[in-house]
Structure 1
Amino acid sequence: MIIDGLTIKKMFVSGCESMINGKEELTNIDSTFGDGDHGVTMEKISKVMIKKLNNLENNMDLHDFFDDLGSDVMGVNGGSAGPLWGTFISGMALGINEGVKEVKVEDVKKMFKYALEELCDITTARIGDKTMMDSLIPAVNSMQKANGTLEEVMKAAMDAAQEGAKASENFISKFGRAKSYKEKTIGTQDAGAVSMKYFFKGLYEGLDRESCK
């Protein structure tokens, strides 16, 4: 199937709206061992993305669009979230050839593969460190293994992200303010992992089921 700019827009706007809808939960989680501002920060990032995404049209260069979108996110104030998410979004451009205006399912998988690789270049966090990576890495790995339609690929990613966020409650925080609490952080999910879970949930829910067949 061919995935055009409108389909991309619907997916990513839905992903952002999902994170905004989870603002209260994200704030509550981050208030336990962090600064309590994660929900607010993710709302800011989501709104910056939605504003840019609303200008995405079918005839636009998707490589340049994601590169620019990541740059916009990079400038959001709110600790490490802006640089991390900005790198993640910009990294998606590496999975798209310059000048391309439509992509296929395999290209979407490449977008997320390169996005994760770019993120791994700027952080040592991996699964088990109680960060956004606890959701992101399983989600991207599941995408690469999944075959079939875009809906099937994104469903695999959503399910893996949800499982990853849930698993993060079993880990000890190793990054940020929460790391000073050590074993006390066990039993609480990581806010970054949960926000990533919401993002993948929204991506899946934003799909037009008929066009995904």
Structure 2
Amino acid sequence: MLDADFFRRWMAATAAAVDREADRLTDLDSAIGDADHGSNLRRGFTAVAAAVGKEPATPAAVLKLAGGQLISTVGGASGPLYGTLLRRTGKALGDDAADVSREQLAEALRAGVDAVAQLGGAAPGDKTMLDALVPAVDALADSFAAARAAAAAGAEATVPLRARKGRASYLGERSVGHQDPGAASAALLVAALAEVAGE
């Protein structure tokens, strides 16, 4: 079972991964966006890692606090999208649960991903973070390792796509041939989850 400490470690591992990969995320974003995705997420997840520390006491509370931090510290679309993902996932887990199963997390993450799709008006195939998140949530029913592999494959699969949402969509055909930075960072989030789970 996954307790609050597991979720705190997930956020810390994500912060470390984003810090390590921030330059690559910004390089991806410079090709089809504002060239600030890495620096924005680094600032946001650094704040998250500091905030979740030893508190709070339940998985839901960790994710809600993390989501709130991202919304308040990350500029652009990334803050609201990642913040919504984590807050809605936390809400779906329920405030009273001291620990949750992988299956419960998969179900709650699906609610979070649905909320992101609604907020951004996007769907898989639009060259967004959903291209990594949707297959990851589907695969999480099998294992954490399967979710990580599915997210990585989903992010890679954005390269030949034409962007239909977000800043990259303004580029039209010129968005083809570049990996979506949001899908790349979403794959980092899922990889950190698998890492903390020992898979």
Give the alignment's TM-score, normalised by structure 1: 0.86
Query: What is the letter of the counterpart of residue 37 of structure 2?
Result: H
Q: Is the 1:172–1:186 Cα contact (8 Å) retained in structure 2?
A: yes
2:94 & 2:188 partners in 1: Cα distance?
Answer: 28
* Structure 1: stretches of 5+ with no match in the other structure: 147-152
Q: Is the 1:52–1:69 Cα contact (8 Å) retained in structure 2?
A: yes
2:93 & 2:74 partners in 1: Cα distance?
Answer: 28
Secondary structure of 1:55 counterpart:
coil
Query: What is the letter of the counterpart of residue 66 of structure 2?
Result: L
Query: What is the letter of the counterpart of residue 2 of structure 2?
Result: I
**1:96-123 Cα shifts (integer Å, max 9, x gaps):** 2222212222222122122112212212
**1:27-57 Cα shifts (integer Å, max 9, x gaps):** 1111112110011011012112111222336
The number of aligned residues is: 199
Q: Is the 1:172–1:183 Cα contact (8 Å) retained in structure 2?
A: yes
Which among 172, 187, 194 is matched to residue 184 of structure 2? 194
1:27 aligns with 2:31: no
Q: Which has the larger radius of gyration?
A: 1
Provide the residue aligned with 1:150 in structure 2.
none
Shift of 1:208: 4.3
Provide the residue aligned with 2:49 in structure 1.
50
1:173 aligns with 2:163: yes
Secondary structure of 2:73 counterpart:
coil
Shift of 1:22: 0.8
RMSD value over aligned CA atoms? 1.7
Question: 1:64 and 1:8, CA in 2 relative to 1: closer, same or farther beyond 3 A?
Answer: closer
Provide the residue aligned with 2:90 in structure 1.
93
Give the alignment's TM-score, normalised by structure 2: 0.92
Shift of 1:174: 1.7
Q: Is the 1:10–1:207 Cα contact (8 Å) retained in structure 2?
A: no
Provide the residue aligned with 1:158 in structure 2.
148
Where in structure 1 do 4 or more consecutive aligned residues deviate above 4 Å?
A: none
Provide the residue aligned with 1:66 in structure 2.
63
Shift of 1:124: 1.6
| Identity across the alignment (%) | 25
Provide the residue aligned with 2:75 in structure 1.
78
**1:169-195 Cα shifts (integer Å, max 9, x gaps):** 010112233222211111110010101
1:133 aligns with 2:130: yes
